[in-house]
Chains A and B, each alone.
Chain A
């Protein structure tokens, strides 16, 4: 079945450093979504990318969808302590009825 892989599993950064998490799908995706889960919280939708090669920005966050629509990345510029949490990518499963999540990247920020 379809797999969505995410790396790295963990990332510790010093406050002010940049951070990137990568997502790779075993199949072509019609779209990809990104979620953030704060420690002890629930996943919260960040963004959805639909077009091949699409790049979207939300303040310090930059999201990219690969040309082949099989990979995506989330880049955070100059991390802050408020960025701490787990970042998940997710893509539609076969027939678009399911949502398949990556295992997530846990971000820790040292101040």
Chain B
């Protein structure tokens, strides 16, 4: 089944404790991205990747890192989480940036205390 998976689905952590949210897609998509969703703000892009080893900042990249060592995986890293990073995070992929139809993962709800 074609899908985007994320882990964990829920995470409660404390300020400053490094964490990684994994994202994997099995559709051989080139383009992957991370979004955060906050009430009233919609989906804001954190980082995106147009292919292996090619990543770039989205609109809200501060406090996040990503890597794209393999085509299928695009982990999101929070080196020192802070409470303002409490949010619902979505990973998404698409065939290419021009095809544009984004396939979203199920989401990761992160709470930073």
Contact = CB atoms under 8 A, between A and B. Distances in A.
Interface of A: 1, 6, 9, 31, 33, 35, 41-45, 48, 88, 90, 92-93, 96-104
Interface in B85-113: 90, 92, 97-98, 100-107
Contacts of B33: 99
Given A100-B45, A103-B42, A31 B100 contact: yes
Nearest to A104: B42
6 contacts: A42-B105, A42-B106, A97-B48, A100-B59, A101-B45, A102-B42
Contacts of B23: none
A88 B100 contact: no
A6 B42 CA distance: 10
B9 to A, nearest CB: 11
Given A1-B59, A9-B40, A97 B97 contact: yes
A45 B43 contact: no
A101 B101 contact: no
Contacts of A99: 33, 45, 100, 102
Given A88-B42, A104-B42, A97 B102 contact: no
A33 B101 CA distance: 8
A32 to B, nearest CB: 10
Contacts of B98: 96
Nearest to B44: A101
